């Protein structure tokens, strides 16, 4: 398992959170998703055999939000 943290451009509305969360949840290999509205971050736990940070970034950008930075950490 890996944890991916994606820093987004400023989120302006609570419905943005739902839109992003629903899109990321559909991605194969995603175990958990948490969108932090005030911090404009998305925290995702993934199975690295099925998806990666780049795929998540593309998914978020497809629904109309800019990803400014990504970090990946391996979970034990």
Convert the pLDDT of each residue in 22-64 to its tens digit.
999 999 999 999 999 999 999 999 999 999 999 999 999 999 9
Nearest-5° angle of CA 23, CA 17, CA 62?
Answer: 40
Reading the block at residue 40, the tokens are 């404009």
Quote the pTM value: 0.93
Boundaries of every domain in the chain: 2-74
Contacts (Cβ under 8 Å, ≥6 apart) of 32? 43, 44, 45
The Cα 56–Cα 42 span in angstroms is: 10
Which architecture does CATH list for 2-74? 2-Layer Sandwich (3.30)
Q: What is the pLDDT of residue 20?
A: 97
Phi-psi region of 64 (alpha: psi -120 to 50; beta: other; left: phi over 0): left
Strands 67-74 and 41-46: unpaired
Mean pLDDT to the nearest integer, 3-27: 95
Q: What is the pLDDT of residue 76?
A: 73
């Amino acid at each position: 398992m890996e944890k991916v943290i994606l820093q987004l451009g400023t989120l302006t509305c609570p419905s943005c959170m739902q839109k992003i969360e629903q899109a990321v949840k559909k991605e194969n290999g995603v175990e958990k998703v948490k969108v932090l509205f005030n911090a404009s971050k998305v925290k995702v736990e993934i199975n690295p055999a099925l998806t990666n940070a780049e795929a998540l970034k593309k998914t978020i950008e497809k629904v109309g939000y800019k990803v400014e930075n990504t970090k990946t950490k391996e979970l034990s």
